[in-house]
Amino acid sequence: MSSRAALPLAGIHPRELGRVVASLRPRPASLVELPPDLHPALREALQRGGMGRLYSHQRESYERLRSGENVVVSTATASGKSLCYKLFAFQTALEDPRSRALFLYPTKALAQDQLGKIRAFGLRGVRPATYDGDTPQSLRADVRRRANVVLTNPDMLSVGILPNHDAWGPFLRGLGVVAVDEAHVLRGVFGSHVAAVLRRLRRVARLHGGDPRFVLTSATIANPQELAETLTGLPFSPVDRDGAPSGERRVIFRNPPLLDRERGERRSLLTEGALVFAALVARGVRTIAFARTRRAAELIYRYAADRLGPEGARRISPYRAGYTPGERREIEGRLFRGELLGVVSTNALELGVDVGSLDAAVCCGYPGSVASVWQQWGRAGRGENPSLAVYIPGRDALDQFLYENPQRILGRRVEAARLTLENPYILAPHLLAAAHEAPLEPGDEEFFGPGYGRVAGELEDAGALLRSGGRLVYAGGDSPARRISLRSASSETVVIADGEGELVGTAEAARAPSELHPGAVYLHRGAAYEVERLDLAAHRALVRRVPDRFYTRPRVETDVEILEELEVRPLPGGAALHRGRVRATDAVTHYKKVRVADDRDVGVFPLDLPEVSLETQAFWITLPPPPPEARPSFEVFGGALHAAEHALIGLLPLFAMCDRADIGGLSTPVHRQTGRPTIFVYDGYPGGVGISHRGFEAFFSLARDALGAIVRCPCEKGCPACVQSPKCGNWNEPLNKEGAVRLLRFVLGQVDRHPALP
């Protein structure tokens, strides 16, 4: 145990900070000798850097790659995963001057951080360089010609490298390894796009004679091998026996106290985070606190600085994405020298950027996945040093559910990263980009999967692809890759600009009526703007800067039409669980203006906007018709269906690794097609990305967890911690908490009585 880490933690009584839910025992390192075939220069560089032996998973990865396998490494944060691919890439570069390696990172900051670490090896035969949007045009040709290890991101690969593959010919011909770092973030729409980009890379590399091996690194999730194989279309070998050491870790859960039991209101998460952060820093504990947004991080920092006073405030700092490498190095240096004791960061820096040696990590609000919780906690107590790990939940259902069920974080992973290459809205633009790179051939199904033939045929019918000599050629004169947004399922966007024509931001066209309607308050980088005009035909929204005093909530009327039922499973009591394709149609009819300071309604205003339709995937539950004697009111039975819908949607991200905003829903006492009480839960993206499919697969676990969250919530009639939704298009009206309990117990087979009966 390190004396440096032990001393500041020695005076901390964990129960002062909250409920101690676990004391995780230290684990010694599993160290093995360096591979005997390592190049002498690489062996010397490792020994010079204090790596005379490897963790067992690092050597296993190296040996599997040397034998020709593709590898996915799924081990804990700070376990040295990046060395798993660097070792193989450096060895290959030193053995063969023609060999090339491509390292993909989700952010430019992470690529820059890794560039410095690669240079620190001091290997003469390894010539690393970053290639991204910040690379000057004057240097790009030099990078293509000289670098044998290129660090980039999926966006630049799609837009800057693949469309110009002829200029990258020698690099692609020698491409021996492609590393994809932090692969667990490649899920949903973003992951589906990146899967298509990686398939395009494989295809273009083969055109130039390259056949790279792939190595992916991931946090611990339920399906790392499946994720790797879906991303690339190749078989993978998993490496998941972690050889890195870990120190003792005390895990503390702290819930902000209830202020209003009936409404379920609690003290602010930000206030609570600042209290814990300031208390630790005041005791000399080197601490990092994570918040979900830049604004939240700034507020925690400000509140903590006020509590610590001028002297203490000088020893803490914000630390977020957007800082230059020099600024980050300065903060890290101040941490190492003891000048800084605490940093407050956004979730962006939970990724593998090195923030130095810390003693405590405070997770302020559920960051979107259990894997992310562990990544944040893993920033503290690196190596064998002891650490504190704190979780402070927000008000919503999933945050509070995890507070009540620590084992869902501490136990076996159930969340699976899902993506799909069969969504035509995602695959089609990449097939156009691939055809621009080289004409498509029938054999390209090997790269693009079973949806290739159907989607390529539709593009040919639409005139976007032309048939020539048995091949499909891109019909346009531009670069279609430039029109692809890797973070959107739709290529149509709305430009948001102020009165002087200054660009403020962009949004998906499908979401514009609900997010950018006239009168809507739009937040961008901490500033508030009011929408003055929305021109859907011109794909433009005009906004003006306003004080941040109000927010708006749209009223949305939703209709769901079943297009195709793909699967059905019986549920107890005559209920049934279905899965298939649906069309969801939204009409934004009103909006509510709410004061930020006290959540009081200012007024309700009508809107006249066109409907927006979305064809996507869904699962739905049908109940038997209510008995004749039931005759429930809409408020009672409709409220029960509505509350159960919210509870299911609120906890589905725990299984599907998505955001609650990625999911839509509808509940109705009688659906026009099923003729029965029905609850729909659907993917909020055109074509779907597998979220609802995961909900269908895990339905019984999902329903049990939703029931538990409602039953254990202390509120009387429903609150954000159980059945209210922050995104509800019906403004959470009506909701029946007790009715939702009866309904979920009925579909789980715990009771026989129909939930419409009192």
Q: For residue 38, what is the domain's CATH number? A: 3.40.50.300
Please count the other Cβ atoms lying within 10 Å of the Cβ belonging to residue 86: 26
pLDDT for 2: 40
Our CA dihedral for 309, 315, 318, 320, rounded to 10 degrees, sits at: -170
| Short-list 368, 358, 354, CA closest to 110 | 354
Provide the residue type at 171 as one letter.
F
What's the confidence (pLDDT) of residue 462?
Answer: 96
Work out the number of other CB atoms within 10 angstroms of the CB of residue 257.
8
Range of the domain at 471: 424-483
Residues 225 and 293 in one domain: no
CA distances from 691 to 411, 455, 651, 655, 669 (A): 22, 22, 12, 9, 24
Instruction: Identify whether the C-beta of residue 514 lies closer than 8 Å to the C-beta of residue 587.
Output: no
By CB neighbour count within 10 A (0-12 exposed, 13-18 middle, 19+ buried), where does 103 fall? buried
- What pLDDT does residue 294 have? 77
Predicted local confidence at residue 390, as pLDDT: 97
Same domain, 225 and 294: no
Transcribe 310-362 into DSSP letters.
Answer: HHHHTTEEEE-TT--HHHHHHHHHHHHTTS--EEEEEGGGGSS------SEEE
Q: Is residue 755 part of a domain?
A: no
Cα-based torsion angle of the residue sequence 688, 733, 534, 617 in order, rounded to the nearest 10 degrees: 10
Tally of domains within the chain: 5
What's the start-to-end Cα distance of the chain, in Å?
60
Coil vs helix vs strand at 380: coil
**Residue 11: what pLDDT?**
64
**pLDDT at 6 (0 to 100):** 47
Predicted pLDDT of residue 325 = 61
* Cα 315 to chain centroid, rounded: 31
Domain end point (choices 239, 259, 291): 239
The answer to whether 76 and 221 are in contact (CB under 8 A) is no
Taking the C-alpha atoms of residue 336 and residue 328, their distance in angstroms, rounded to an integer, is 12
Please give the angle made by the CA atoms of 420, 353 and 72, to the nearest 5 degrees.
40
Query: Is 295:526 a contact under the CB 8 Å cutoff?
Result: yes
What pLDDT does residue 639 have? 97
Q: Give the separation between CA 130 and CA 334, rounded to whole angstroms.
A: 27
Q: Which helix (H) or strand (E) holds 249?
A: strand 249-253
Determine, yes or no, domain membership for 753. no
Q: What is the 3-state secondary structure (H, E, C) of 548-561?
A: CCEEEEEEEEEEEE
Tokens of 407: 């084992």
Largest CA distance in the chain: 84
Whether residue 406 lies inside any domain: the answer is: no
Q: Is the whole model's pTM more than 0.85, yes or no? A: yes
Cα(734)–Cα(728) distance, rounded to whole angstroms?
11
Angstrom distance (rounded) from CA 526 to CA 176: 44
- What averages of pLDDT result for each successive group of 10 residues across the chain (758 residues)? 48 81 94 97 96 97 98 92 97 96 89 90 96 91 96 96 97 98 91 96 98 94 93 97 94 94 87 96 93 86 94 89 68 80 79 71 93 89 87 93 94 83 93 98 96 96 95 94 84 86 85 93 82 94 92 94 98 98 96 86 94 95 94 94 97 90 94 98 93 96 96 92 91 96 98 94
- Is residue 651 within 8 A of residue 401, CB to CB? The reply is yes
Residues 166 and 101 in one domain: yes
Ramachandran area for residue 718 (φ above 0: left; ψ -120 to 50: alpha; else beta): left
Structure tokens belonging to residue 344:
């407050």
Q: Could you tell me if residue 411 is inside a domain?
A: no
Alpha helices in 444-540 (DSSP H): 445-448, 452-461, 512-515
526 and 599 share a domain?
no
Q: Which amino acid is at 155?
A: D
The Cα–Cα gap between 174 and 98 comes to: 6
Residues 269 and 318 in one domain: yes
Contact between residue 748 and residue 572 where contact means Cβ atoms under 8 Å apart: yes
Identify whether 724 is part of a domain.
Answer: yes
- Whether residues 184 and 322 fall in one domain: no
Residues 86 and 225 in one domain: yes
What amino acid is encoded at 453 in this protein?
A: G
Eight-state DSSP code of residue 649: H
At residue 7, the pLDDT reads: 47
Number of neighbouring beta carbons within 10 Å of residue 527:
12
- Are the C-beta atoms of residues 212 and 177 closer than 8 Å to each other? yes
Q: Are 143 and 129 in contact (CB under 8 A)?
A: yes
- The angle, 0 to 180 degrees and rounded to 10, between the axes of the packed helices 224-232 and 188-207 is 50
Identify the bridge partners of residue 392 per DSSP, sorted by sequence position: 364
Residue 262 and residue 211 in one domain:
no
608 and 516 together in one domain = no
Q: Would you say residue 167 lies in a domain?
A: yes
In this structure, the number of other CB atoms found within 10 A of the CB of residue 247 comes to: 20
Residue ranges of the alpha helices (H) in 67-135? 82-95, 108-120
Per-residue HEC secondary structure of 174-215 comes to CEEEEEECCHHHCCHHHHHHHHHHHHHHHHHHHHCCCCCEEE
Whether residue 68 sits in one domain with residue 12: no
- Give me Rg for the CA atoms of the chain: 27
* Cα 522–Cα 528–Cα 532 angle in degrees, nearest 5: 55
Q: What is residue 724's DSSP assignment?
A: -
Separation between Cα atoms, residue 659 and residue 650, nearest integer Å = 9
Say how many C-beta atoms besides its own lie within 10 A of residue 315's C-beta.
18
How many Å apart are CA 316 and CA 308, to the nearest integer? Answer: 9
Select from 207, 239, 271 the last residue of a domain. 239
The DSSP result for 502-516, as a single string, is -EEEEEEGGGHHHHS
Does residue 13 lie within any of the structural domains?
A: yes
User: What was the pLDDT predicted at 337?
Assistant: 79
Task: Out of 527, 548, 569, pick the residue that ends a domain.
Answer: 548
The answer to whether the CB of 217 falls within 8 A of the CB of 180 is yes
466 and 355 both lie in a single domain? no
With respect to residue 417, please indicate whether it lies within any of the assigned structural domains: no
Q: Could you tell me if 116 and 214 lie in one domain?
A: yes
Q: How far is Cα 109 from Cα 321, in angstroms, rounded to an integer?
A: 7
CB environment 637-661: b (16+ within 10 A), e (fewer):
bbbbbbbbbbbbbbbbbbbbbbebe
